[in-house]
A and B are shown apart, each in its own frame.
Chain A
Amino acid sequence: MAKVEFRHVVKRFGDVEVIPDLNLTIEDGEFVALLGPSGCGKSTSLFILAGIYLPSGGELLFDGRVVNEVEAKDRNVGIVFQSYALYPHMTVRDNVLFPLRFKRMPREEALARVAAAGNLVQVTELLDRRPGELSGGQQQRVALARALVKEPQLLLLDEPLSNLDATLRLTMRTEIKSLQKKLGVTTVLVTHDQIEATTMADRIICLRAGRIEQIGQPDDLYRRPQSLFIAGFIGSPPINMISGEARDGVMCVGSVVFPFEGAPGAVTVGLRPEHLRFTGSGLSGRIAQLEPMGREILYVVDTVAGYLRVLEHGSIAAHAVGEPVRIGFSPDDSLVFDTACQTLVAAARVGPPA
């Protein structure tokens, strides 16, 4: 089956090893997101795919054949940069026409393709303007058109939404996703924003310091994060972490005792704010702060186990600052991690204290 494959790919810049050993397969037609904090090597991996960087070691394969030494211009890849990188001295039309210059096709056909690409991303009215006259969102669409006009076999997006304002980000998210579905082109998105990744991609590859932390569908990463890092990275507002000592069916955090199912040892429990509820029984605490967020309210509760965030639906606060409350949750929603190696202990569960 045709695909893109990283086989033990290494990338070094001087003495710094950004990517130690990357192994990854991307299937044809997939929309994949490379997610991770800055410096984790995601943009580097993208540039290796594009042919801008050459791997220091290992192999990159297109279609089962090694393409390490194939230059960017021969790879038929389209890329949208974070800064859009539009040629400032050319009109939009010339920008989108640029890749077709090197394909040696008759001018009418090239212009027709430019028009088609322009239609796809809705920049037809802007064809005669210059990049300097366009807004951020318009520039991004032109960059997309330029990437798509050459009918690339691979579409690469480097943090495409990070320079846009919130509303534009939402619209472009939907547009890019539907575009990809319509055209069926294999797409790799690089981002540090987990919402972008989870809303747009079919599969998310979470990277950290050049290594893959976890690969899975957005749902998997959310419900079954394999490591503390993933649990903390995915999900907004971020997950609550409680560290404690587990033995004999209980986990002790200071003076509080939680019912515990699983092997003894030092554990860290992750509890998502949306899974916590204010109930009659459970962990006791006092409301320290509340942040109204429109359709939800985020409470910060001061407990013996530390500050916990609780997310409640509704726009009207049911509790006030300083009020004593009790927090409960379902054991099925708990994520237990081994504190030492930071990995998920799948069989373990924790329940709210009595």
Chain B
Amino acid sequence: MAAPLTFNGIHSSPTAPVDWDRIAARARSMRRSKAVALYAFLIAVSLPIILPYFWLVTIAFSARTGVADTVVLWRSVAVLAPAVIAFWLAAVLARNRRQLWLGLTAIALAATAAFAWLVGPDLHLRNFIFLVEPDFASVVRSRVGAVHGAIQFPSVWRAFGNSLLIAGSQTIVVLTVASLAAYYLSRFQFPARAAMLRSLLILHAFPVLTLIVPMFLMLYWIGLLDTLFGVICVLVAFELPFAIFIMKGFFDAVPWDIEMSALTDGASRRQAFLLVVLPQVRNGLLAVAVFTFIRGWEEYIFVFTFLIRNTNWTMSLYMYYVRDDVMGVDYGVVSAVGVFYLVPSLILYVAAQRYLMQMSIGGVKG
């Protein structure tokens, strides 16, 4: 027979007193050391990421002679790090909202003043001259002397325009084709439907980078190598399965009754699609649009392989050759171009952040 359970209630029997004070004290210290350890660890591992990006920005605004001067960086850090810590302490210690706002404003003012005094004089925008000066290489040469490499640089605005063209066209085409295909797959019955859905599943997970060699040959034989049009076609096709997959998910979520009532109201299915269903998946369209645009903007491998002439350069290629050409010579200009390239990406990512979460998990079992 199992030993019976005994219930002593909460009185401390003399033989086994419970020392609540000691337990409470131990719990308190454990809680504090856990919090400290967590923050210390996260700050330690995140610093290698924060510092280089911060460096990029400071050098873009401060480098004079083209050297990757870290003095400005350290001075900025010396102002910002205490400011961040002070912000955090204020948030933790403030007892009500008013105190919090007073504290934050005071710290912000102090930090700005310190920053202006220590770092301000070093800041300038001369590194961003590439935005207005078409002959980029000569500008650099005039500043730092001889420049290695004989690559002729196009105007950065041309590269910007190319990137915009590629990303933009890709987005529009993908949106159109994917919406049409996804709608049909989602809402129509036809003989090969199951087979097509199966292949969609396989295609959207297929790694397209493996096809780069035959793709190159194919473009060459068609005559589309070194054309923006060819690159756009390739990027569109490779992005398509994933976009269709996502859009189908959104179309599946639209309730059937809306469409049914549109049909009974006299619309044809195409009209129902345009007037009634499409507005319902606006979120999906936005998500796919942003995601596709970002991919087009950041694309490197395919443009690197398929584009040759420098008039066809995109921002990614521009960055690559700027780094190759002036690396070690004019850090200031390189980082300025970098910031110019980075900012649109970040803005788009932050804007699309909501959708990205849904997309990466949608449809996965378990």
Residues of chain A having any CB pair with chain B under 8 Å: 1-4, 28-29, 62-63, 65-71, 74, 109, 112-113, 115-117, 119-120, 148-149, 151-154, 183-186
Chain A residues with CB below 8 A from B12, complex form: 2, 63
Q: Which of B6-39 contact A (CB under 8 A)?
A: 6-12, 18, 20-21, 23-25, 27-28, 30-31
B5 A148 Cβ-Cβ under 8 A: yes
**A186 in contact with B20 given A69-B28, A113-B2, A113-B3 (CB within 8 Å):** no
Of the candidates A70, A112, A113, A116, the one whose C-beta lies within 8 Å of that of B23 is: A70
Residues of chain B having any CB pair with chain A under 8 Å: 2-12, 18, 20-21, 23-25, 27-28, 30-31
Of the candidates B2, B25, B27, the one whose C-beta lies within 8 Å of that of A115 is: B2
A151 B24 Cβ-Cβ under 8 A: no
- Return 29 A-B CB contacts under 8 Å, by A number: A2-B10, A2-B11, A28-B9, A29-B9, A63-B11, A63-B20, A65-B20, A67-B20, A67-B24, A69-B24, A69-B27, A69-B31, A71-B23, A71-B27, A71-B31, A74-B27, A112-B2, A113-B5, A116-B2, A116-B4, A119-B2, A148-B5, A151-B6, A152-B7, A153-B7, A183-B7, A185-B7, A185-B9, A186-B9
Nearest chain B CB to A68 CB, angstrom units? 7
Chain A residues with CB below 8 A from B23, complex form: 67, 70-71, 74
B9 A153 Cβ-Cβ under 8 A: yes
Nearest chain A CB to B42 CB, angstrom units? 23
Give the docked Cα–Cα distance between A62 and B10 (Å). 8
Nearest chain B CB to A304 CB, angstrom units? 50
Nearest chain B CB to A30 CB, angstrom units? 10
Give the docked Cα–Cα distance between A4 and B11 (Å). 10
A153 B10 Cβ-Cβ under 8 A: yes
| Closest CB pairs A-B (n = 5) | A2-B11, A65-B20, A153-B10, A69-B24, A116-B2
B10 A186 Cβ-Cβ under 8 A: yes
| Nearest-neighbor residue (CB-CB) of A76 within chain B | B18
Of the candidates B11, B28, B30, the one whose C-beta lies within 8 Å of that of A28 is: B11
Chain A residues with CB below 8 A from B11, complex form: 1-2, 28, 63
B2 A4 Cβ-Cβ under 8 A: no
Give the docked Cα–Cα distance between A109 and B5 (Å). 11
Of the candidates B8, B20, B28, B30, the one whose C-beta lies within 8 Å of that of A62 is: B20
Nearest chain A CB to B12 CB, angstrom units? 6
Give the docked Cα–Cα distance between A184 and B7 (Å). 7
B10 A154 Cβ-Cβ under 8 A: yes
Knowing that A2-B12, A117-B5 are A-B contacts, what are 12 other residue pairs whose CB atoms are under 8 Å apart, sorted by A's residue number? A4-B10, A67-B23, A67-B24, A70-B20, A71-B27, A109-B3, A112-B3, A120-B5, A148-B5, A153-B10, A154-B10, A185-B9
Chain B residues with CB below 8 A from A2, complex form: 9-12
Give the docked Cα–Cα distance between A71 and B20 (Å). 11
Chain A residues with CB below 8 A from B20, complex form: 62-63, 65-67, 70
Nearest chain A CB to B10 CB, angstrom units? 4
Chain A residues with CB below 8 A from B28, complex form: 69
Give the docked Cα–Cα distance between A12 and B4 (Å). 41
Give the docked Cα–Cα distance between A70 and B10 (Å). 15
Chain A residues with CB below 8 A from B4, complex form: 116
**A70 in contact with B3 given A63-B10, A153-B10 (CB within 8 Å):** no
Nearest chain A CB to B201 CB, angstrom units? 28
Nearest chain A CB to B30 CB, angstrom units? 8
Most buried by A among B5, B10, B20, B28: B10
Give the docked Cα–Cα distance between A69 and B230 (Å). 67
Chain B residues with CB below 8 A from A29, complex form: 9
B7 A151 Cβ-Cβ under 8 A: yes
Chain A residues with CB below 8 A from B6, complex form: 151
